[in-house]
Amino acid sequence: MRWSFSGPFACAAENESVLDGGTASRFSFHLNISALRRMKRLLPFVLILAVAALAIGGGAALYRARRETVFAPIPNEKADANPGAIPPHFRGAARAPVVLEEFGDLQCPPCAMLAVLLKKFEEENRSRLRVVFRHFPLAMHKHAVEAARAAEAAGAQGKFWEMADLLYENQPKWSKEETVTATFEGFAQKIGLDLARFKVDREDNQLLGRIGLDNQRGISMGVTSTPTLFINNQRVPQQFMTDQGLRDAIANAANGKPPFPAP
Amino acid sequence: MKSNTASSSQTQPPVSRGRHFIYIAAAVLSLVGLSETTYLTATHLAGAHVTCVTAANCSQVLGSVYASFRGLPLAGLGALGYFAVFSFSTLAAFRFPRASTLLALTVGLMFLTTLWLLYLQAFVLHAFCDYCLFSAALIFLLSGLLIATPAPRQSS
């Protein structure tokens, strides 16, 4: 056996031996500097490809997971209640242990105040809370149905919550207007909706039907005013409709306890 | 063997330790940006709600007309930008010719886009999105790093 070194990282082992009747077998192993250099030049491309694969794979997995949250059914549906519009509008984790269902009217000022509070709760309970919105437009509010229609038409383009947020934020202004059609179209443009489609969808009977279905669910659950909340299908008593009361109820439900203490 | 080493150092100028560190830092920062923009792109395409971390009105920004460009979510373009930054900084760290120039051009373009998006948030939408602000901070940091990059060492 003969070993030869031709560089700091390069060595060659040459094994010459007579194995069978004088036939010479030669094994050579080369790990020289030029091979290392070739590998080194390939390394950045390997890294880049790995990051590209990770980003695409991760993005696809995330897309599937997020899509699931959009279409997952609501657990703990009240068996005897009218199911309401399917799928309902909701935010939050698909398998959250706490489902907070709101029956709201987009022209109702306390609903607008509650919307701010609910966002805070969503941020505090990301994986634990799912907030569902049900339309319950009240006859006393002149533009409530039109606001609900606008939100549904935005929902048809995947932007229900963006429209609902805008409607709540600007509620004091548009509530006083005589006609709100142009104002709502302005909102639609602001959130990047296809305006022509928005105008058509706003009059669509199927989307209008969703508002009626939510309303029927509310009636079947004994809702008479807005906002009315249910946490895991248990109606939130009036005395718990406070920042702390709701926070405690969500925490209790998340820990598998009844949301409210027994009366 | 000697001649090999000599020819290699002619095509690949030596990268100083400072420059090398900056390219690695840029690659790491771009990975953070890539993760963030990938999350935003996937959420946008899925039609799901983006959970805001601090600002309550980020959906007003992410749901605005400026959040997409010719039907493509802007976050997706950001992801491509960050991927380009990662690729060029990795190649620059491995002394590939022209990679540092391409890196500077990409970061410069992203810097200008960030200025435009900040203007839109401040003066047009009157709302800020924490994801956008975080991304802006990353771009500013990347730009600062590249400005602070020491001049290439002259090979003798």
A200-228 confidence digits (pLDDT tens): 888 888 778 888 889 888 888 888 888 88
pLDDT of B14-70, one tens digit each?
567 788 889 999 999 999 999 999 999 988 777 666 666 665 556 667 766 687 777
How is residue A113 written in tokens?
Answer: 């105040």
Note whether A31 contacts B: Cβ–Cβ < 8 A: no
Asked if B49 and A118 touch (Cβ cutoff 8 Å), the reply is: no
Band (pLDDT 50/70/90 cuts) for residue B129 is confident
The pLDDT score that the predictor gives to residue B51 is 65
- Predicted-complex ipTM score: 0.80
Note whether B134 contacts A: Cβ–Cβ < 8 A: no
Give the nearest chain A residue to B54 (CA atoms).
Answer: A123
Q: Which of B43, B66, B90 sits opposite A44 (nearest CB)?
A: B90
Q: Which of A66, A162, A189 sits opposite B46 (nearest CB)?
A: A66
pTM for the full predicted model:
0.53
Question: Could you give the CA distance from residue A226 to residue A219 in angstroms, rounded to a whole number?
Answer: 12
CB pairs < 8 Å spanning A and B: 95
Alpha helices, DSSP H, located in chain A: 33-71, 109-124, 144-155, 160-169, 171-174, 181-190, 195-202, 205-220, 243-254
